[in-house]
Chain A
Amino acid sequence: MDLSRVTFLTLAALATVSAFRVVTASKIMHAALWLGFTFLMVAGVFLTMGAEFLAAAQVLIYVGAVTTIILFGIMLSEAAEVRGGRDPVAPTTPKGPAIIRRFILPIVATLAFAAIMIFVYSQAPWPDASAAPAGDTVRLLGSALFTDYVVPFELAAVLLLVALVGAIAIAVRDDHKEEQG
């Protein structure tokens, strides 16, 4: 195996393991950190495939912004188990409806997701590996976004704007209530 293949497999394995740790970590802060690490490893996978811009954007947005905001939220929350320090309450053995919630539903969801992914992978028309653009991917990406994909691009921008306005509306309403009493 050549070096790039070893790198890819290492990064992919690390990403999978840390994604698993996100759901098994006992402290929510550690879960958030594992999430950030997963994003970082996925950025590494993008790099091994020559998608340099995607990797940088992944680090900037997912690791640098999204996970930071999650950490911010955790740090601002008051709950004792969230604030960390001592170990949280030991997990109890679930009984009754909790068995369905903790064991059966996750398995069903996993199987359904796996089925969808396998279906997509088997049906999708994959582009020829040799057709992968070499060189200045940033330039190619930019011109593709503003020519072939301009409508989806603008739609995504409008969607983000709507989300922004909505967030401001929610925040302002809460403020107002507080002032009233």
Chain B
Amino acid sequence: MDTVGLILIRGAIVIVVLLTAFAMMTVIERKMLGYFQLRLGPNRTGPWGLLQAVADGVKFIVKEDIIPRDADRLVFRLAPIISVFTALAAWSVIPVGPPIEVGGRPVPLSIADPPGGVLVVLAFGALSVYGVSLAGWASQSKYALLGSLRASAQLISYELSMGLSLLGVIMLAGSLRLGDIVAAQDRLPFLFLQPLGFIIFFISAVAEASRIPFDLPEAETELVAGYHTEYSGMRYAMFAMAEYIHMITVSSMVTLLYLGGWNGPAFLPPVAWFGLKVALLLFVFIWMRASLPRFRYDRLMDFGWKVMLPLAIVNLLVTAVAAALWA
């Protein structure tokens, strides 16, 4: 059994890695967008502009932290905390590789791998609505409120098709434990058995992460900055942090559920395969941001309820029938 100390150490490692990845993502995203648009992107701070993240971080910390006069001060302060907490907490059950041997005893490469791991990730995903909607409400500003209403509606709508498409994978794997689901993809990733489910899950994941083309909660041309219009300094940075960590989380979930997790040819260690697959998905996220325009709001809702949800239910039915006949 794990001691409390070991769990705390693993938790600390996960947080440090995620926050570093967040900082690096902001730079890499700007560099990539630059190349997509035939620019150079940030290149003044450090080699290849890599220290831009540090410069940005310092700037966020020293900026004045403004709270609007009419804001609900308690909820205003609480919202970014909830956002970062839910984004980080999902990682308590995400494994990045098979257990490894350290000093003769097996060490699992996740903080915990409970039997209901998928549900835990979904539950924390459901909680992430709070940060966004409370931020918009507490700001007492039109743009922020509109942004947070859009965000809540969007997150609730796409959560449904996300959960339904995921059921197909759970049925095939016969387990809710993320480790078992990866083990079930030993020979063939579920991407090939669940192509429709993969597409629905990925689109919902983009919507859940509020990334282009689903970034209506913070559509800058209509809503200034959406739900975090009134936030400045470090509190604003916390929302950005939550968004990027969420992006890494959904990429990891797609990797674990559909791309075979850490399975791969033996010339690379399993953790490297996991990292590569997640990095590829993150690149697709940036790629989409560089190439796709934003949805119109009514189309976003129509697409979620009239296309994604029925397709997810069809996928579930077909999978259930196939699984029953095959088993």
Chain A 44-81 interface 0/1 with B at a Cβ cutoff of 8 Å (1 = within)? 00000000110011011001110010011011100000
Does residue B145 face the partner (Cβ distance < 8 Å to A)? yes
Q: Which of A53, A64, A136 contacts B126 (CB 8 A)?
A: A64
Stretch of A82-90, A106-114, A154-162 at the chain-chain interface: A82-90
B72/A138 in contact, CB under 8 A: no
- Cβ contact within 8 Å between B72 and A68: no
Instruction: State the Cβ distance, A72 to closest chain B Cβ, in Å.
Output: 6
Given contacts A59-B123, A84-B137, contact A33 B70 (CB under 8 A): no
Q: Are B130 and A68 in contact (CB under 8 A)?
A: yes
Whether the Cβ atoms of A59 and B126 lie closer than 8 Å is: yes
CB distance from A8 to the nearest CB of B (A): 16
Cβ contacts under 8 Å, B134 to chain A: 33, 71
* Chain B, residue nearest A67 (CB): B130
Q: A52-B114, A52-B116 are in contact. Are A85 and B70 (CB under 8 A)?
A: yes
User: Measured between C-beta atoms, what is the minimum distance from B290 to chain A in Å?
Assistant: 32
Q: Are B133 and A29 in contact (CB-based, < 8 A)?
A: no
Q: Is chain A's binding surface mostly helix, strand, loop or mixed? A: helix
Determine if B127 and A84 form an interchain contact, defined as CB atoms under 8 angstroms apart: no
The residue of chain A having its C-beta at the shortest distance from the C-beta of B149 within the complex is A75
Residues from chain B with Cβ under 8 Å of A83 in the complex? 140
CA distance A23 to B71 in the complex (A): 23
Whether A60 contacts B133 by the Cβ 8 Å rule is no
Cα-based distance from A56 to B120 in the complex (angstroms): 6
Q: Are A53 and B148 in contact (CB under 8 A)?
A: no
With A56-B116, A138-B176 as known contacts, state yes or no: A29 contacts B123, CB within 8 Å: no
- A59 vs B128: C-alpha distance in the bound complex, in angstroms? 12
Chain B residue contacts of A36, Cβ below 8 A: 130
Determine if A29 and B137 form an interchain contact, defined as CB atoms under 8 angstroms apart.
yes
- Work out how many contacts link A and B, with CB atoms closer than 8 A: 81
| Interface range, A side | 20 to 34
Q: How far is the CA of A146 from the CA of B4 in the complex (A)?
A: 38
Q: Is B138 interfacial (CB-CB < 8 Å)?
A: yes
Question: With the chains together, A63 CA to B137 CA distance in Å?
Answer: 18
Residues on A with C-beta less than 8 A from B78 are 33
Tell me whether B115 is interfacial, beta carbon within 8 Å. Answer: yes
User: B115 contacts A136, CB within 8 Å?
Assistant: yes
Please provide the chain B residues from 123 to 156 with a CB less than 8 Å away from any CB of chain A in the complex.
123-124, 126-127, 129-130, 133-134, 136-138, 140, 145, 148-149, 152-153, 156
Q: Report the minimal beta-carbon distance from A142 to chain B, rounded to whole angstroms.
A: 10
With A29-B72, A86-B70 in contact, do A72 and B152 touch (Cβ < 8 Å)? yes
CB distance from B90 to the nearest CB of A (A): 12
In the assembled complex, which residues on chain B have CB atoms less than 8 Å from the CB atom of A60?
Answer: 119, 122-123, 126
Shortest distance in angstroms between B216's beta carbon and chain A's nearest beta carbon? 16
Residues of A within 8 A of B124 (CB): 59
The answer to whether B75 has its CB under 8 Å from any CB of chain A is yes
Are B75 and A29 in touch, CB under 8 angstroms? yes
Report Cα–Cα, A86/B68, bound state, in Å.
Answer: 12
| CB-nearest residue of chain B to A83 | B140
Contacts of B115 in A (CB 8 A): 52, 135-138
- Contact check, B116 vs A53: say whether CB atoms are below 8 A apart: yes
The interface of chain A, by Cβ under 8 A from chain B, is 3, 27, 29-30, 33, 36, 52-53, 56-57, 59-60, 63-65, 68, 71-72, 74-76, 83-86, 135-138
A-B contact pairs, 10 of them (CB 8 A): A30-B75, A36-B130, A52-B114, A59-B124, A63-B123, A64-B159, A68-B133, A68-B152, A71-B130, A84-B138
Chain B residues in contact with chain A, CB under 8 A?
A: 4, 70-72, 74-75, 78, 114-116, 119-120, 122-124, 126-127, 129-130, 133-134, 136-138, 140, 145, 148-149, 152-153, 156, 159, 176
